[in-house]
Chain A
């Protein structure tokens, strides 16, 4: 399905980022594990290869030394000088692993291995069939120059890095592949909203304009109540319409920043939502001091509208909606259902809704976050389930 992309869906959502991060972390850990495992196998095989090369030379030395021991055995104790060779060092041990004589540089001997590497030496353990001078084990030692090790490390680091980058590229490709269905769905929803909002504008404007024009003075009480309900419904739809329009069309427009009197704006918006609050028998607690701010009025109105409408929407019947304004600080709080602490980081995600009993698309708070981020306004949310939520803006 072909879906056109827009700016909003091009950027990753927090939940998307989290999924991507989790996947990548797991993937990187797995890649590192696999590369490490391969490196270990490679190192071991190269070490074995080097030792098998050495084995031939060391066997020859062991043969020579055995012959010398044989001679020494027959002439012992007229001759007591242990045979030495500039090409290697050696040691002799008896069947009970007791040292008979040694000129080794490294005395850590593993009798159960034929050839092995110590710190800086290679040891070859030869088991004799005839125990000259009581020698059961003849140990031949040569220096390990470590050049082979350096070469192996070079290969491991070089090939390891190449493999890592290739794996990472493959991982990114995989991640994009996994995320594509999710992103396509989001784009489809965006497109749907964009199309439908166009169709909502005319009838909604007509409803609201006609409600305003109606003369309520001459209406009977029963009809007044009905008109109120129509007004509430129309305003709810209007808020939603404005959010969706903002999201799909207006957010890309340039800002028209001006100094606005926040207390006046807040009072107006609270009044606008009064009918909604009244329908749930909510009380307003307004504590507004004079405060100004340079901001695009249209955008900041979206912030206030969304925060107030949420405070009303998720409140308990007979609860309180509070608005406190100070210079540099705005707090909107309610005595509603609250939100789980673990869900707070995700509440600003688009299409994220934690309460299915209330209507909406879940776009309101993502608009709020976009706007406050744009103006470097800090937003804090404190909430306790069953007690209420407090949203604080600081600038």
Chain B
């Protein structure tokens, strides 16, 4: 019984210690052949600035469509389009902000 309680607490702590990005993005993407960083670079290459990238990401997550995806035809044909995000506004913003901060180019070049 005690073991079960400890396991339950450990799982609960594990889940809540993860941020919005890890909770909602990493889990699904880890099985895909293209990393989240590669996808970020695709966004960056297409939309350039922070505001642009964040805006199109938010739009795509809410309204996923083949026509506005930055991924290649081959990728979409193989893995399809993601499902519509059900995250609330705050959580979606937080996940995107973390995603930007994690892979942005600023301050990384030398």
- Asked if residues B109 and A100 are in contact (CB atoms below 8 Å), the reply is yes
Interface check B79, CB cutoff 8 A: no
Distance, CA A96 to CA B100, complexed state (A): 15
Interface check A361, CB cutoff 8 A: no
For residue B49, give the distance in angstroms from its CB to the closest CB of chain A.
4
- Asked if residues A77 and B108 are in contact (CB atoms below 8 Å), the reply is yes
Interface check B65, CB cutoff 8 A: no
Given contacts A77-B37, A80-B109, A82-B110, contact A132 B50 (CB under 8 A): no
Consensus secondary structure, chain A interface? loop
Q: With a CB–CB cut-off of 8 A, which chain A residues contact B48?
A: 94-96, 131, 134-136
Interface string of B19-51 (1 = CB under 8 A from A): 000000000000000000100010011111111
In chain B, positions 69-110 with a C-beta closer than 8 Å to chain A are 103, 105-106, 108-110
Q: With a CB–CB cut-off of 8 A, which chain B residues contact A130?
A: 45
Distance, CA A74 to CA B41, complexed state (A): 8
For residue B88, give the distance in angstroms from its CB to the closest CB of chain A.
27
- Asked if residues B110 and A80 are in contact (CB atoms below 8 Å), the reply is yes
- Asked if residues B50 and A94 are in contact (CB atoms below 8 Å), the reply is yes
Consensus secondary structure, chain B interface? helix
- Asked if residues B45 and A131 are in contact (CB atoms below 8 Å), the reply is yes
Selected from A76, A95, A136, the residue in CB contact (under 8 A) with B105 is A76
Interface string of A131-148 (1 = CB under 8 A from B): 111111000000000000
- Asked if residues A95 and B110 are in contact (CB atoms below 8 Å), the reply is no
- Asked if residues B109 and A98 are in contact (CB atoms below 8 Å), the reply is no
Total inter-chain residue pairs, C-beta < 8 Å: 55
Q: With a CB–CB cut-off of 8 A, which chain A residues contact B37?
A: 77
In chain A, positions 84-107 with a C-beta closer than 8 Å to chain B are 94-96, 98, 100-101
- Asked if residues A82 and B49 are in contact (CB atoms below 8 Å), the reply is no
Distance, CA A100 to CA B109, complexed state (A): 8
Q: Which of A73, A77, A82, A100 has the most CB of B within 10 A?
A: A100
Smallest Cβ-Cβ distance to A103: which chain B residue? B109
For residue A240, give the distance in angstroms from its CB to the closest CB of chain B.
95
Q: Which of B48, B49, B110 has the most CB of A within 10 A?
A: B48
In chain A, positions 114-132 with a C-beta closer than 8 Å to chain B are 130-132
Given contacts A76-B41, A131-B44, A133-B44, contact A95 B49 (CB under 8 A): yes
Interface residues contributed by chain A, number (CB under 8 Å): 20
Q: With a CB–CB cut-off of 8 A, which chain A residues contact B44?
A: 131, 133-134
Smallest Cβ-Cβ distance to A82: which chain B residue? B109
Interface check A10, CB cutoff 8 A: no
Distance, CA A96 to CA B51, complexed state (A): 8
Distance, CA A77 to CA B37, complexed state (A): 9
Distance, CA A100 to CA B105, complexed state (A): 7
- Asked if residues B49 and A94 are in contact (CB atoms below 8 Å), the reply is yes
Given contacts A73-B41, A76-B41, contact A134 B110 (CB under 8 A): no
Q: With a CB–CB cut-off of 8 A, which chain A residues contact B103?
A: 77
- Asked if residues A80 and B108 are in contact (CB atoms below 8 Å), the reply is yes
Smallest Cβ-Cβ distance to A131: which chain B residue? B48
Q: With a CB–CB cut-off of 8 A, which chain A residues contact B53?
A: 134
For residue A302, give the distance in angstroms from its CB to the closest CB of chain B.
93
Selected from A74, A81, A133, the residue in CB contact (under 8 A) with B110 is A81
Distance, CA A130 to CA B47, complexed state (A): 9
- Asked if residues A131 and B46 are in contact (CB atoms below 8 Å), the reply is yes
Q: Which of B37, B41, B49, B109 has the most CB of A within 10 A?
A: B109
For residue B72, give the distance in angstroms from its CB to the closest CB of chain A.
14
For residue B103, give the distance in angstroms from its CB to the closest CB of chain A.
8
Q: With a CB–CB cut-off of 8 A, which chain A residues contact B50?
A: 94, 96, 98
Distance, CA A135 to CA B51, complexed state (A): 14
Distance, CA A388 to CA B27, complexed state (A): 111
**11 A-B pairs (CB sep. < 8 Å):** A74-B41, A76-B105, A81-B110, A82-B109, A94-B49, A96-B48, A98-B50, A100-B105, A100-B106, A132-B45, A134-B45
Given contacts A77-B37, A80-B110, 16 further A-B contacts (CB under 8 A): A76-B41, A80-B109, A81-B109, A82-B110, A94-B48, A95-B49, A96-B49, A96-B50, A96-B52, A98-B49, A131-B48, A132-B45, A133-B44, A133-B105, A133-B109, A134-B48
